[in-house]
């Protein structure tokens, strides 16, 4: 069931990407506020059921109160922000590595639900396309984003773009390899996703391309998996998911708005939005991944 839903979702995302990039208006505008609103709402909603996973973890660890979970989860987020303040380049570079693996894994693991195959390296290489594609197609704009969020971009400056091109094709080959390993008709979903990601990054500005991918491909796909866990009836599980994820999504979106207003006191709109989106996502991604990892290990 989930394979069919993901196939329809991927086809819809590809068609939508083609439509968006067919208009010069979407290709040539930054859509800063649109990106911020989408990431702070749809984007972060796929982690808004972490409290339910936290309840499961508390039960596994035989703790009595959810307060312990919330304190630990929040502490990791605060620690990430503190590390960014002390060493932004280290934190953000590490985040790009972790995010590459996270994107590759969560966008692909539905193909291997019935079997546990160690594909971590392939997942990482596949997910790295989200960073490599904007670097290849819009190098100067992507470097500018890295600069605004406090990263030392000398890490990405090469005498020529041969390294980026090589890594780019390795990432594409890794996607194809995962499809071959899956030996499943629905693995073609990854090829559809690949075309959509390339189209968006070739035609759109880096931040807008990332926003569309993160919100409408990555987040929606993860949300579909969460919906299936709630109820096998997709129509029922959709409403359940919206109802359950709404409280934490509102809280997180509010924090994004507060952070944006605070940053506007020292930075311009462009810098503030870039910092809120990428540093905010880093602060949310690390506790989310750690929670997923601990639960996965305990389930095994």
- What is the number of alpha carbons within 13 Å of residue 21 lying toward its C-beta? 21
Highest mean pLDDT among 52-56, 149-153, 196-200, 280-284: 196-200
- CA nearest neighbour of 155 among 94, 81, 104: 94
Q: Summarize pLDDT for 249-273 with one digit per residue, the tens.
A: 898 999 999 999 999 988 889 999 9
Contact 111, 183 (CB under 8 A): no
pLDDT value for 205: 93
pTM of the model: 0.91
- 196-220: b (≥16 Cβ within 10 Å) or e: bbbbbbebbbbbbbbbbbbbbbbbb
How much of the chain, in percent, has pLDDT values that exceed 70?
95
The angle subtended at Cα 131 by Cα 81 and Cα 84, nearest 5°, is: 15
* Concatenated DSSP letters of 214-257: IIIIIIHHHHHHHHHHH-SSHHHHHHHHHHHHHHHHHHHHHHHH
State how far the Cα of 139 lies from the Cα of 200, in Å rounded to an integer.
15
| Mean model confidence pLDDT for the chain | 88
Q: Looking at the predicted structure, is the pLDDT value of residue 155 above 80?
A: no
Q: Summarize pLDDT for 181-206 with one digit per residue, the tens.
A: 988 888 899 999 999 999 999 999 99
Terminal-residue alpha carbon distance, the chain: 24
pLDDT value for 103: 94
Q: Summarize pLDDT for 63-108 with one digit per residue, the tens.
A: 778 888 889 999 999 999 999 999 888 888 899 999 999 999 999 9
Q: Which two tokens stand for residue 241?
A: 């998911």
pLDDT value for 55: 85
Q: Looking at the predicted structure, is the pLDDT value of residue 276 above 90?
A: yes
pLDDT value for 132: 95
Q: Looking at the predicted structure, is the pLDDT value of residue 137 above 70?
A: yes
pLDDT value for 8: 92
Res. 232 pLDDT band, cuts 50 70 90: confident
């Amino acid at each position: 069931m989930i394979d069919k839903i993901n196939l329809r979702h991927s086809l819809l995302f590809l068609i939508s990407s083609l439509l968006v990039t067919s208009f010069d208006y979407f290709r040539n505008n930054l859509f800063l506020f649109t990106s911020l609103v989408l990431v702070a709402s749809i984007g972060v909603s796929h982690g808004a059921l972490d409290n339910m996973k936290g309840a499961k973890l508390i039960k596994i660890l035989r703790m009595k109160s959810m307060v312990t979970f919330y304190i630990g989860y929040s502490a990791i987020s605060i620690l990430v922000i503190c590390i960014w303040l002390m060493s932004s380049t280290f934190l953000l570079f590490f985040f790009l590595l972790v995010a590459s693996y996270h994107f590759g894994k969560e966008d692909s693991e539905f193909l291997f639900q019935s079997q546990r195959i160690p594909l971590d390296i392939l997942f990482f290489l596949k997910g790295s396309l989200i960073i490599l594609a904007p670097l290849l197609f819009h190098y100067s704009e992507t470097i500018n984003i890295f600069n605004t969020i406090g990263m030392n971009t000398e890490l990405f400056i090469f005498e020529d773009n041969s390294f980026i091109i090589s890594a780019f094709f390795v990432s594409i080959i890794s996607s194809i390899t995962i499809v071959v390993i899956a030996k499943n008709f629905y693995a073609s979903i990854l090829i559809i996703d690949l075309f959509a990601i390339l189209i968006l990054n070739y035609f759109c500005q880096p931040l807008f391309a990332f926003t569309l991918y993160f919100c409408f491909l990555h987040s929606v796909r993860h949300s579909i998996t969460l919906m299936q866990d709630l109820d096998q009836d997709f129509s029922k599980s959709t409403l359940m998911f919206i109802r359950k994820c709404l409280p934490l999504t509102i809280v997180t979106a509010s924090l994004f708005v507060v952070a944006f207003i605070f940053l506007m006191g020292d930075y311009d709109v462009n810098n503030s939005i870039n910092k809120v989106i990428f540093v905010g996502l880093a602060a949310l991604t690390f506790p989310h991944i750690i929670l997923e990892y601990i639960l996965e290990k305990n389930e095994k």
